[in-house]
Amino acid sequence: MINKDKKDKLEKEMQEAGIYEEDLEEQFILGSGSGGQKINKTASTVFLKHIPTGLSVRCGKDRLQSHNRFFARRMLLEKYLSEIKKEQTKKQKEIAKIRKQKQRRSKKAKEKMLEEKQKRSEIKKSRKKPSEEE
Distance separating alpha carbons of residues 99 and 58, to the nearest angstrom: 27
In this structure, are residues 59 and 43 in contact, taking their beta carbons and an 8 Å threshold? no
pLDDT reported for residue 132: 53
Cβ atoms < 10 Å from Cβ of 128? 7
- In order along its 134 residues, the chain shows pLDDT tens digits of 789 999 999 999 999 989 999 999 999 998 877 767 777 788 889 999 999 999 999 998 888 889 999 999 999 998 898 887 777 777 778 888 888 888 887 889 889 999 999 999 999 988 887 775 54
pLDDT reported for residue 48: 94
pLDDT reported for residue 55: 92
Distance separating alpha carbons of residues 82 and 17, to the nearest angstrom: 11
Distance separating alpha carbons of residues 71 and 80, to the nearest angstrom: 14
pLDDT reported for residue 9: 93
pLDDT reported for residue 11: 93
Please state, in angstroms and as integers, the Cα–Cα distance from residue 50 to each residue in 39, 54, 83, following that order: 25, 5, 13
pLDDT reported for residue 38: 74
